[in-house]
Structure formats: structure tokens, C-alpha cells
Amino acid sequence: MATDLDPNHRNDTSRNADAVPVIDLSKMSAEKRSAMEIAESAREAQWTEPSFAQQLFMGTFNRTLVDSFPRQSVEDAAIGDAFCAELGAYLTANLDAEEVDDSRTIPSTVITDLFAMGVFAMKVPKEYGGLGFTQVNYNRAMMLLASHCASTAVLVSAHQSIGVPQPLKLFGTEEQKKKYFPRFRTGTISAFALTEPSVGSDPSKMATEAVLTPDGTHYIINSEKLWCTNGPIAGLMVVMCKTAPKIVNGVERAQITAMIVEGNSPGIEVLHRCDFMGIRAIQNGLIKFHDVKVPAENVLWAPGKGLKLALTTLNTGRLTLPAACTGVAKQCLRIGREWGNERHQWGLSIGNHEAGREKLAFIASHTLAMEAVTWLTSHWADDHGKDIRLEAAMAKLFCSEIGWQVVDVTLQLRGGRGYEKGSSLKARGEKGYPVERMLRDMRINRIIEGTTDIMHLFLAREAMDPHLKLAADLLAKHTPVGTKLTAGAKLAGFYTGWYAKQWFNASLWERHDDMGILSGHYHYLQATAHRLARSIFHSMGLYQEKLERKQVLLAHLMDIGTELFAMAATCSYAIRLAGERHEHSSMTLADQFCREATKRIENHFRELNSGDGKLMNQVGKGVLAGEFSWLETGVQDPG
């Protein structure tokens, strides 16, 4: 019999989108409850297809979902090949990324030429004049662009991955599509405006108000939006606003609505162009909206759907970032190989000292893993039936965290030259490897499109979902006793079988011999998925409703799931590459990556039981209370 927990039965339509979620909010403070209600009502509650990652968290390593690593059709690959060849040649000839970084300017001629090539309409469907690229081809172009100039990549990505084109494609009406899509071939850059001075990761404090005029024809927007990438030059923006609240189940619920706003609307003012550590040429600003009049038909999807629209957009929008990080990692691999051979110290090339080899092994094996995760999730995004919420978040988390380490290791291998600007190296006659700029540019990826902490929380919420759904009736405050008893019996029945299976299962005898030198890693994956599911279950039992506050423990659990996903993707990708190239170097790299990932996973498991949390919490609390302020003396005021 199919249950909510059956991975093949995810089409849960029993709860409507406005229903209060399965989490018990009654014991939370009003502020936290409001934030949670908004976040919960914005979740996509339906799973239409089995999710590989969600099954992992429930103890199942479903090989069939990752075996036969997907590949592009010959026709689609040819489109991507031709476009990337043209784009690559153009960038080499026309875009000096060091100059862009120094001057904080992307030349307007380059932007014009990129428009002519269709770079700003890669994701726009062909019927509206766009290139209609698959996610794979879009990400191939973004990988190339990011490897050349991160500022230009962010300009294109903020426009196309989160700006107007993607939500318009997903949620726009036919009239809206006909009106706006063609503009992305003719010079209109778009932006996405959610963040405000008091609204970062938590949108519940949103101050931007859009008030409907008495005749219902327009909204009037007042607010300030912060860090809006492309905002200062945008012809169109998706602006997130608070609209009139709605009564849901007798309780007033804040409504967040997305609307398309013309960048030149009267009342829009750029108050400040922000300057950052990296991606220095992006046009990002603090933007004021003063009585900005927007036609009511510019609402995207429907009033109150704004946050859900943003989160759904990000589910695929977030995939650009892994591609961009992988592009940079590939550059690092090349720099590492060339410099590792070229530079000699203490009688050996630095790549041949063991410490150098360790760095090169890390860069190469983790670049393969980043690429595997990127292409697997990109292909899955093109397979529109697949639910990739968890996998996209894992790809973002994994590639931004590992990408940062890859650049840092590359900088270390370069020694003093790693810290010197590419333009300075070139000026004194050396190769202008821009590792210093790459490091500065890379750092933002751990913050935008969901910080690492927020990715952990997002994953944890989704990983717990099957358990929460099963226990929902039991936990709900006002459920009649009879329903609670039935729910209790159902729960006991399910968990008896499920829990036993987490100990006694096929991992005890299956060998995965078809995976060659990677068979041991597949076996580890299978066994560790069960161990992870047991750990999640034990943590739920131990901490119950307090588990939500055990963020460090949850982060370890989510990192284990993410590493397992990366291992599965990497092994499957390596097998495919080995088949295509008739040699096994990809298997060697995958083997190396899986050994590293296994060490990290075992470390996470150790941390779960280390008992260090109590002291860590005490110290953190003490810092806030000023207990250790004596340690801050003897230096200048940082402000």
C-alpha cells in the first residue's frame, strides 16, 4: 500500500497551499511564528516525482535514479557547441576581465554585442524570440562566461536566472510574455528585488508596501530595496511587495506579491551604487521606490504568491551558480597543472612535492565532482517531471563551498603570486593568472541565492517532511482523540518496519561489482544512507520539537546527505566518461573524490556525538552578553 513515505507516492494534494503547515507553531514567539508561517506557506508542498535526495534522507540509495548519467542529445549538444564557440571567441577578443574589475565597468559595447548574440535571451522560449536553450546549454554558456569574467556572468545570471525572464516563463500570462519577452533581445536588462535593509534571509519583515488604488487598476509602491543586482541599470524589475493581508483560517496572514516594474517609472531613484569585495563591476544598488505606480496587470502569478514564485524560480535559478563555480574550478585545475610543473623550489617542481600533489589531487577530484553535480541537476531540470528542489539546493551548497576551497588551495599553490593581481603579474612579464580576483569573486557564492546556513535549514525542512507529514495528525493541537489514536497506530506500524530496515537491508549483501574500482563507494553510499536515516530518526526522537533549534546538528546531517549525493553523481559521471573515452582516469578521480568525501562524512558523524554543543552554545551566548569583551581591547574600533 502506498503511504506518504513511499518515495514513489509523492503527489500529496491533501493540503492546500494556504493550509497551516505540519509544524506546530503554537509554542513559538509571535515574530518567529509569523516568519515560519510565511516560509511554510511559500513551500512547494507537492512532490510529483521521486526525489533522489529525499530518498537518501529516508535511508534509500536509489541507484536507478543516478545510473546511466544523462547526456545531451546530439542536436542539443551541437547548439551548445556552436554558441559556446562563438561566445568564447568573442570574450577572448573583446573582454578584459582584469580591466572590468579595476574600472568596475563592463563596456557598454560588450553588453550590446552580448544582446545581439542572444545571451540575455538564452532562456527565453523560441516562440517569443529567444534562444530557447535547455538548462544544460544555458549552464554551459554560464560556465564559460563565469570562467572568463565573474562580473559579466553575474550581470547575465541576475537578469536571467532570477530576474524577469525565469518567473515570466514559469508564471507569466500570455499577454505578459508577449509584452516583455521580446525586450530581452533588444537591450532590456532585468533585476530581482527582494532584499531590504531589514529583510535578508527572512522575508517576513518586508517593509515594501504595494497599496491597491481605490479603482483597483494600480498598485502604489513605497520602499527601499537593497543590493538589487542590475537594479541601477534595469529596464524591468521583479519587485517583491507586501500587499493587503488575507484572513486564513481566521488568522490574518501577510501577503507577499511579485510584480513587474518598469525601471524608468517615476519615483524610482538609485540612492547608492554598492561596492563589493569581488564581482566589482556589477551594478548593484540601494533603490528607493517613492509612490511608484504599477498597473495591477503587472502582478506575476497572483497576489500573495510572490514568495512561492521566488522560491520556485530559485529551484532552477540556483543551478547557474554551480555551473559558474565549476567554470572557475576548471580554470584552477589548469593553473594548478601549469604552475605545478613550471615552478621549481628545493630541487623539485612544486607540484611534485607531496604537499603540492595533495593540493592538485584535491583540485582535480573536486572539480570532477562539481561538474558531475552540475550536469546531473541541469539535466534533471530539463526533465520537467523531476522534482529537483533538494538536489538543486545541494548543488548550490556543495559547489559554492567546495569552489571556495578549490580557489583557496590554488592560491596557496601559487604562493605570493596567488596574492598578486593578474594585471600586476602581467605588467612585470609573468602569466597573468587572476587567482586573486577569482578568490574575491568566488566568495559571494556562499551568500547569495540562499546562504549556506539557509541551505542547511531548507534541506533539513524538506528532509524531515516525510516524518512530519506522517506525524502531523498526532502532533496537531486540535486533532480529535480518535484521529490521534488512528494516527498513532499508523505511525507505529510504519516505523516498526522502516526502522528495522535501516539496520537490516540489502547493503549487507549487495556488492555493486558493475562499478569497478568504485564499487566500494557505492556500497558505502548504500549503507551510509541507512545510517543517515537512523541518525535523523534518533535526533528527532531525542530532541523532538527542539530539533529545529539544533542547527549545527542539522547542518552536519544535511552535509552528510549532500556529500552522499555528490558521491553518487560523481561515480555515475565517471563511469560514463570512462565509457566515452575508453580510459579510466575519470574513475581514478572519482575514487579520490569519494575517499575525501568519506573522510568528511565520517567526521560529520563524529561531530553528531561529540557533545561539544553545550560548551559552544555557552561560549556563543557569552560573546553576545559581553563576557569576553576584555579580549577586544588594544585595537582600533572596526566601525
Ligand X SMILES: Cc1cc2nc3c(=O)[nH]c(=O)nc-3n(C[C@H](O)[C@H](O)[C@H](O)COP(=O)(O)OP(=O)(O)OC[C@H]3O[C@@H](n4cnc5c(N)ncnc54)[C@H](O)[C@@H]3O)c2cc1C
Binding site for ligand X (CB under 6 A): 158, 192-195, 200-201, 227-229, 276, 284, 444, 447-448, 451, 453-454, 551
Nearer to ligand X, 284 or 592 (CB): 284
The C-alpha atoms of residue 229 and residue 185 are separated, in whole angstroms, by 20
3-state secondary structure of 292: strand
- C-alpha–C-alpha distance, residues 387 and 85, integer Å: 32
Question: Which residue in the shown chain puts its C-beta closest to ligand X?
Answer: 200
Cα separation values, 364 from 324, 358, 360, 361, 621, Å: 16, 10, 6, 5, 40
Which residue in 449, 462, 580, 583 is the catalytic one?
449
CB nearer ligand X, residue 376 or residue 558: 558
Nearest approach, Cβ of residue 583 and ligand X (Å): 41
Distance in Å, CB of 202 to ligand X, minimum: 6
CA distances, 383 to each of 72, 207, 313, 373, 376 (Å): 12, 38, 16, 15, 11
Q: Please, what is the minimum distance in Å from the beta carbon of residue 397 to ligand X?
A: 12
Return d(Cα 320, Cα 555) in angstroms, integer.
23
Active site residue 449: yes
Cell triple for 210: 504595494
Distance CA 244, CA 261 (A): 18
Closer to ligand X by CB, 397 or 589: give it. 397
**DSSP β-ladder status, 209-212 and 218-229:** antiparallel
Compare residues 282 and 413 and give the one whose CB is closer to ligand X.
282
Residue 205 beta carbon to ligand X: minimum distance, rounded to whole angstroms: 10
Q: What residues contact 411, with CB distance under 8 A and at least 6 apart?
A: 418, 419, 435, 436, 439
Report d(CA 527, CA 59) in Å as an integer.
8
Half-sphere exposure of 163 (CA within 13 A, CB side): 31
- H or E stretch including 218? strand 218-229
Q: Supply the minimum distance, in Å, between the C-beta of residue 336 and ligand X.
A: 27
Q: Which is nearer to ligand X, 72 or 195 (CB)?
A: 195
Got the DSSP string for 160-186? Answer: IIISSHHHHHHH--HHHHHHHGGGGGT
In angstroms, what is the minimal distance from the CB of 167 to ligand X?
13
Q: Which CB atom, from 451 or from 479, has the smaller least distance to ligand X? A: 451
Catalytic machinery residues? 449
